[in-house]
Structure 1
Amino acid sequence: ESGIESNLSPHALRHTVGTRLLKEFKNAKLVQRYLGHSDVTTTLRYYVDVFPEDLEEAAEMLAER
């Protein structure tokens, strides 16, 4: 035993990877293929999380226009 306790599960790791890929590349089709989803709606349903900084960035962008 390493003595390191963790609540990390394969599911949690997969979700984190999918979410971070979507945040970084903003391409749901890329994430769909990476995760092996047969339909992009699955990707969008489970891996689209709104990050507070994204909301702030969107508000700033709209304010500039």
Structure 2
Amino acid sequence: MADFRITLVRSLIGRPETERKTARALGLRKLHSQVVRPDTPVIRGQIQKLAHLVKVETRA
């Protein structure tokens, strides 16, 4: 199963609290921080919610 490398590329300043909590749940804390997460429906939903703030790469 593939993994996602998720990078926070836009700031969370001024974003709604739900988006901040979602980023925190993914493990994204600072700008340009990266995390690797498995490809699951839950992670896909979180990425979709933050699509305008993150860059996602697929790892095999």
Name the structure with the higher helix share. 1
- Bigger share in strand: 2
| Greater RCO, 1 or 2 (C-alpha within 8 Å, sep 6+) | 2
Question: Which structure: larger Rg?
Answer: 1
